[in-house]
A and B are shown apart, each in its own frame.
Chain A
Amino acid sequence: MTELQELRTNHHYYASLYRQHRVVVFQHLKQFTKDEAYLADLYQDAIIVLFEKAKDPEFNLTCSIRTYLIAICRNQIFKRAGRAPEIVSIEGERTNYNDWLTDQLEIERQKSQLDKLDKVLNHFESIAQKCYELLYRFFYMKESFSLIAAVMGYTNADNAKNQKARCQKKLRELYLEEK
């Protein structure tokens, strides 16, 4: 099994990946800065970017994971330094770090609404466990409707999809009621 496949199937594999490539990635990045705490922060974000990309079934790597991680870190260095080339391309591999950053900026912009939704979700977890599990599997664990249907006892993927829509509607009502 390749590292990418392992990352797709094992939810905690990213932590092993972190240890595995840390030394080489740090060595490579030390040409930009010697600050290890800063490098660690960059490298952690790069691992998260890779993890999220790996969840996309169409995502494929033509270079090694290590090269990809270094490319993401380099993109971040340029971006944080404010002299961002849009994407640093290594061996023709585009890192799509910008997608990650766009989501991150949106998260910061919508902080108050997200805090409110978190509060509602906590309550929702205690009153509608099955609905919460469905939403958690879909949004957090990124499982497909067919998998969700098989594991949660729905007859088929469409049924699970309909159930998700119903749960989401119920949650939205609670969200709108919350002050």
Chain B
Amino acid sequence: MSQELEQNQMDQFERLMELSFLRERRKQMKKRLQFEERDIERLKLPKIEYRKGVKFQLDNSYNYDRIKFKDATQILEAKRQAKVQKIKNITMFTILIIIALVAIIYYFSK
């Protein structure tokens, strides 16, 4: 019975975590989309007159909804590419050595 109760509490906590991350995600996305909307509205204005000597810090969409960790598929793809490159390099190196050896053998055989 107590095990069932504990499992129930764990499930509730899991749901709470799910909601916590979901809330954060929705908040970040909403901020980003609000920025996009402001940006579209700004572009619709006829002309923005900047006052001389005043520097404006332009907002950038990359300032919004930053993902804390790099996407797993991107990381794996980068690793795969690095591996392919390494194999290519080793193959090229081996071919070069073989060519050099063949050239040396050919030279001395004459």
Contacts and interface: CB of A to CB of B under 8 A. Distances in A.
B23 A44 contact: no
A22 B69 CA distance: 29
A136 B71 contact: no
B40 interface: yes
B42 to A, nearest CB: 13
Contacts, number: 96
Interface stretch (A57-65, A72-80, A86-94, A139-147): A139-147
B40 A172 contact: no
B25 A44 contact: no
Interface stretch (B8-16, B46-54, B87-95, B98-106): B8-16
Most chain B C-beta atoms within 10 Å of own C-beta, residue among A15, A143, A148, A169? A15
A171 B21 CA distance: 14
Contacts of A107: 19, 22-23
Given A40-B37, A141-B71, A175 B21 contact: no
A139 B23 CA distance: 11
B85 interface: no
Interface in A7-52: 9, 11-12, 14-15, 18-19, 22, 40, 44-45, 47-48, 51
The range of chain B's interface size is 20 to 34
A51 B29 CA distance: 10
B13 A114 contact: no
A47 B36 CA distance: 12
Contact of A9 (B22, B37, B73): B73
The range of chain A's interface size is 35 or more
B67 interface: yes
A110 interface: yes
Contacts of B68: 133, 136, 140
The 4 closest A-B pairs by CB, nearest first: A139-B21, A44-B33, A151-B72, A147-B72
Interface of B: 10, 13-14, 16-26, 29-30, 32-34, 36-37, 40, 61, 65, 67-69, 71-73, 75-76
Given A15-B33, A19-B40, A136-B68, 13 more contacts: A44-B30, A48-B29, A48-B30, A104-B26, A107-B19, A110-B16, A114-B16, A114-B19, A139-B17, A141-B69, A147-B73, A151-B75, A151-B76
8 contacts: A12-B32, A18-B33, A18-B36, A48-B29, A114-B19, A140-B21, A143-B72, A150-B76
